[in-house]
Amino acid sequence: MTAPKYWFRAVRPKQYSNPYDGPVGDLLNRLGCHPFRPAHLHYTVSKYGYDELTTHIFDPEDKYLHSDSVCGIKESLIAEFRRVDDPAPSAEVGFAGPYWDVEFDFVLATKEV
């Protein structure tokens, strides 16, 4: 059986800060941690007969990759972001210039009945 294919267009993600005022900020300060999450894309993947998967993939070039404020990174969730400068593939996907290409295989578990 061939795996289903998908694609979509998005903006290359950037790191962002969790709120660091109030109790979360107090905890991060006491731990000596910064409030930043590394750049990532969120996904919810579903197919009939399989458990739904909600996950994210991370940009390996982000400076906060190895110090995520919520410790949500596994090596298996780090994806390569490849820059495509060739105008032919750019035109095929509707871009006028270079873009970033990411390939990632999601694996769903069969739903237990």
Any domain includes 2: no
19-23, 53-57, 60-64: least confidently modelled range = 19-23
Q: Containing domain of residue 71, as a range? A: 40-102
Total domains in the chain come to 1
For residue 105, name the pLDDT band (cuts at 50, 70, 90).
very high
Is-contact 84 67, C-beta < 8 A?
Answer: no
Q: What is the mean pLDDT of residues 36-51?
A: 95
- Per-chain mean pLDDT for the chain: 91
Any domain includes 5: no
Tokens found for residue 72: 């949500």
Indicate the pairing of strand 53-58 with strand 36-37.
unpaired
Residue 96 has pLDDT above 80, yes or no: yes
